Structure 1
Amino acid sequence: MSEAPRSGPHQVLLALYALFALAAGARSLVQLTTRYDEAPVAYWLSLAAAATYALGWWAIRQASSGHTGFASVMLWIELAGVLTVGTVSLLVPDWFPDASVWSDYGIGYGFVPAALPVAGLVWLRRQRRSPA
């Protein structure tokens, strides 16, 4: 099956998802192996964020050729994760002695973790509306 050409917004989404998968994954692996006892919950949540970014990258890549179901599920899971972790990190800061990627809605990354799934869902909605 041939792939659909990627639009500018699609390429930007793919680049950001790849960057965040790498950044969150590397950060969490370093933290888990060198400082595990300091904040294991935050570090495991960062690893979970990295996994959602990696799966999100693949899902968004597939969505350009019409396979949008998995992308929709992944983007909603990611948004739920960043909203849940962001809210809990503000309400119960003792649970987060060190930040995760999604702590405070991704403030450490310029709130990109909160904006990224929203941008992906907007792109996906437009993808579904465009004529085949």
Structure 2
Amino acid sequence: MAERQPAAGEPRTRLSGGPGRLILTLYGVFAVGATSRAVYQLSTQFDEAPLAYLLSALAAVVYVFITVALARGGETARRLALVCITAELVGVLAIGTWTEVQPSEFPDQTVWSDYGRGYLFLPVILPVIGLWWLRRRPAERDSAKPSPE
């Protein structure tokens, strides 16, 4: 996917290389994985664990928003990513705790069950890294903007 070039003077988030690219890739994988899992579960097994499957669908929506915001770049998208990643972290912690305290409410796993145990705890680790990265790398002015002649 080609990175959108910001307009002249528009701040951008540097996710095009190194750790930023890895963060974007992981969110993309989670967006596709959580979405496909939720669609399958909601369409074929909804009666078995409706709460778990609806929460998985919510996680999928959050991952899609984060992925799009990170890929898009720019200050508005960066702010959206910060909000969504914060919501993701709150969701992982809340649902992770809920599944530990009341496991009977969850006859099947969600993406965020047990703090993402089924996904090597990446659902709880990734938002911490994502928030750290976005805060560490605040929006920067596009260094490639043309200089006045």
Instruction: Mark yes or no: TM-score above 0.5.
Output: yes
Match of 1:82 in 2: 92
Tell me the percent identity: 43
The one-letter code matched in structure 1 to 2:27 is Y
Match of 2:122 in 1: 112
Which one of the candidate residues 23, 31, 34 is aligned to 2:33?
23
Give the deviation of 1:7 after TM superposition.
2.1
Structure with the largest fraction of helix: 1
Whole-angstrom CA distance in 2 between matches of 1:104 and 1:91: 10
Give structure 1 regions of 4+ aligned residues with deviation exceeding 6 angstroms.
none
TM-score, normalisation: structure 1? 0.90
Structure 2 regions of 5+ residues with no counterpart? 7-11, 142-149
Match of 2:5 in 1: 2
Whole-angstrom CA distance in 2 between matches of 1:30 and 1:125: 35
Which one of the candidate residues 50, 56, 63 is aligned to 1:53?
63
Residues 43 and 100, structure 1, Cα contact 8 Å, conserved in 2: yes
Aligned length: 130
Q: Which has the higher contact order (CA 8 A, sep 6+)?
A: 2
Q: Secondary structure at the match of 1:106?
A: helix
Match of 1:96 in 2: 106
1:123 maps onto 2:122 in alignment? no
Structure 1 regions of 5+ residues with no counterpart? none
Give the deviation of 1:62 after TM superposition.
3.6
Match of 2:51 in 1: 41
Greater Cα radius of gyration, structure 1 or 2: 2
Per-residue Cα deviation, 1:30-60 (whole angstroms, up to 9, x for no partner): 1111111110100010011011000011122
TM-score, normalisation: structure 2? 0.81
Give the deviation of 1:131 after TM superposition.
5.6
Per-residue Cα deviation, 1:77-98 (whole angstroms, up to 9, x for no partner): 0100000000000000011000
Residues 42 and 99, structure 1, Cα contact 8 Å, conserved in 2: yes
